[in-house]
Amino acid sequence: MGNSDPHCSGIWSQVMVQLDCMQGMIAGYIASPKGQETIRNYLASPEGKKTLDTYLSTPEGQEMARLVLSRALEGLTLPAEVKGKVLAAVEEKKRPAS
């Protein structure tokens, strides 16, 4: 934003407010029962599975999967030993092959 034109700055501010509003609307929809159902249905579809597989094949997707898995394990009523084994296996998989 090297331009110091006040008109451009005002437009930029309006765009940012609109983006914030859109993000809030999207977050609200995702948190709603209807939004969660939509996401669940999409992820269960062939197209959704393909999208998820593609994302999980990337380094960013694998890191997100580890984060989600660790959070999910915290919320499950599994014995600590089982949780530990799963987390250890995930960490082992994360290391590059020797």
Q: What is the pLDDT of residue 20?
A: 81
pLDDT tens track for 4-62: 666 677 777 777 777 788 888 899 999 999 999 999 999 999 999 999 999 999 999 99
pTM: 0.57
- Decide: 86 and 73 in contact? Cβ < 8 Å: yes
- Helices (H), ranges, the chain: 6-31, 33-44, 46-56, 59-75, 80-94
Residue 95 predicted with pLDDT over 70: no
Q: What is the pLDDT of residue 15?
A: 76
> Confidence class of residue 98 from pLDDT cuts 50, 70 and 90?
low
pLDDT tens track for 67-81: 898 888 888 888 989
For residue 45, the 8-state DSSP code is: S
First-to-last alpha carbon distance for the chain, in angstroms, is: 46
Q: What is the pLDDT of residue 23?
A: 87
Domain boundaries, the chain: 1-44, 56-98
